[in-house]
Amino acid sequence: MTQKSTNLQLTQLSVTSSNPQTVQARPPPTRLARNYVAVERRDLDFSQYPNNIDSLVPKIHDVQYSQGILRNEKNFSFGTTCEIFQFAYGQGTLLQGVDDKGVQEFLFEATKRARTLPVEPETHVIFCSLVKPGTIGPNFRLQSSLSLHTTKSLLDYYHVSPQFLPFLLGEPNYGAPGSFSTYDANGYIKSIEFFCQHPRWNIHENQQPWSVYMSYDLPTKRVFYFVVTGVDCPKNALVKDRLFQSFCRGEDNNAAKRSFADPFFIHTLISHESLNDLKPVMTVLRTHLYDQLDEVDAYAKQPSDRRKLEKLTTELHMVSQDADSLLASSDMAIMVSDRMLESHQLIQQLLFAQFKYDEYHKTADALAYLRHSAQTHKRWLTSYKNRKDIAMNLVFNLVTQQDAYTNILIAQEAKRDGSSMKIIAALTTFFLPATFVATIFGMAFFDYQDGVFSVAPNTWIYAAATAPLMLVTILVWYMWDKISEGRHMKKLPFMRRGSVTNDIEALKGKMLQL
């Protein structure tokens, strides 16, 4: 098996937007989980993986579930396509486009070297990808670039924990990173496992999970890595390029090569690239937020179209969604760093026994730096979210002020209408006596014929009927007004209280009585 290329082509990194001030629209909600296929559970086969590995923990590892995943051939490709990085005897090799035959040859050569004494430390890294098949059938809607036969060979050869098997096929991990150790009969560590799934920062793209598995086998001094991510992942390509440039060019770089003395070197390298993936996303979020803050400040100084406030509310809501998602991812990155530091402490005595003090402390310092960096990013995200909340409150206050101003205008118009009604009432009052007098003189109670003014003897009937009718009308109106006012007061959430002074005086009186 020969190396197919001497120069690794690095995929150009792409930022969310060429213009940081322009935010791309969120992709349509194509949820892969809607097309998940339930794992078929059958009787256990005790001769098959994972029953034959030392890292099995039956308390939390569901063997039937793992065997059901491996039984579904649609989870795997027909032929293997992967990359293999190997560091042995102080020299690195990166093999690209490795197929099933190439993997078997690689394992055969690794077995031969492991039987040669003295055993030399080695690091093996398998880079495989996740592809989305055209048909529904895989349990987690994604398909590994490894064939089923090659996958079983790797799982058996390196004793990979069954807990990592769903991550190998692209299932998102919403749990904690895994850190497990195996001990011999004398209480000494035989092997250490640590695996995790790094957070996906770019929420405006459908990114596949980036899962990393590591095992360190002390008897063979072998470190093994499984690195699984989506096809053409730029960060994964960057990791491979860094490994190639530092360890595969045949040049002496002892300072870099000593890094492989610590099994967590690749984990630290990938964690660093994962955290760097947050930088362009935070730049876009920060620019988007500041643009909206400028718009809010400009509107506060000189209000304009009310529809602009509606747009600002929508944009600030998008900022809030993005910030919340990045905060959750930051918490996950912090937890991954914490668990990695805890697992890294397990190998402290092992490395110190080999006089690898410098290598251990450099990796420990790097992991601590990544942890504090993730915490720093979280603080900035929290600050952005708080500034968004302040801007949103200002927008709400501006809306409230505009509503109050609108109500004032309505009240002024109502007052103007009331003034008009008063004028009409005054005019009516002015003409009403004359109208009344004209009506009276137009009645049959008065007679002007023959030039003689005479009054009918039954004029008193008009006064006797009009006066009681007016009194009854006024009385009915008064009673109706009082009843309506009482009903209205009962509907109010509170009754009008007396003054605070009266309440205090009443309280003093009660205290004196006691």
Look-up of token digits 């998940």: 36
- Please, what are the domains in the chain? 37-249 (3.30.460.20), 277-414 (1.10.287), 459-514 (no CATH)
Whole-angstrom distance, CA of residue 265 vs CA of residue 417: 81
pLDDT digits (tens, 9 = 90+) for 123-170: 999 999 999 887 888 988 899 999 999 999 999 999 999 999 999 998
Average confidence (pLDDT) over 22-26 = 48
Name the nearest CA neighbour of 58 among 50, 69, 67. Answer: 50
Decide if pLDDT at 10 tops 70.
no
| pLDDT exceeds 80 at position 86 | yes
Q: Are 20 and 287 in contact (CB under 8 A)?
A: yes
Whole-angstrom Cα distance, residue 125 to residue 87?
9
Low-confidence winner among 99-108, 155-164, 306-315, 478-487 (lowest mean pLDDT):
478-487
Q: What is the pTM of this model?
A: 0.74
Q: What is the β-pairing status of strands 143-147 and 178-183?
A: unpaired
Residue 359 DSSP label: H
Do 224 and 124 form a contact (C-beta atoms < 8 A)? yes
Please give the mean pLDDT across all residues of the chain.
Answer: 81
Tally the residues of the chain.
514
Rounded (5°) CA angle 308-310-311: 65
Beta bridge partners of 225: 125, 214
| DSSP 8-state symbol, 188 | -
Is a pLDDT exceeding 70 seen at residue 489?
no
Tokens of 332: 């996950």
Task: Answer for the pair 11, 234: CB distance below 8 angstroms, yes or no.
Answer: yes
Q: Which among 84, 51, 83 has a CA at the least distance from the CA of 70?
A: 51
Whether omega for the bond prior to residue 50 falls within 30 degrees of 0, making it cis, is yes
Q: What is the pLDDT of residues 418-461, one digit of tens each?
A: 767 767 766 675 666 666 666 766 666 666 666 666 776 766 76
How many Å apart are CA 343 and CA 220, to the nearest integer? 20
Q: Is the Cα torsion angle 348, 349, 351, 352 positive or negative in sign?
A: positive
The position carrying tokens 């029953």 is: 51
pLDDT in tens, 37-79: 888 888 888 889 998 888 889 899 999 999 999 999 999 999 9
According to the model, what pLDDT value does residue 326 have?
92
- Interacting residues of 110 by C-beta distance below 8 A, sequence separation 6+: 122, 124, 222
3-state secondary structure of 167: helix
User: What pLDDT does residue 214 have?
Assistant: 96
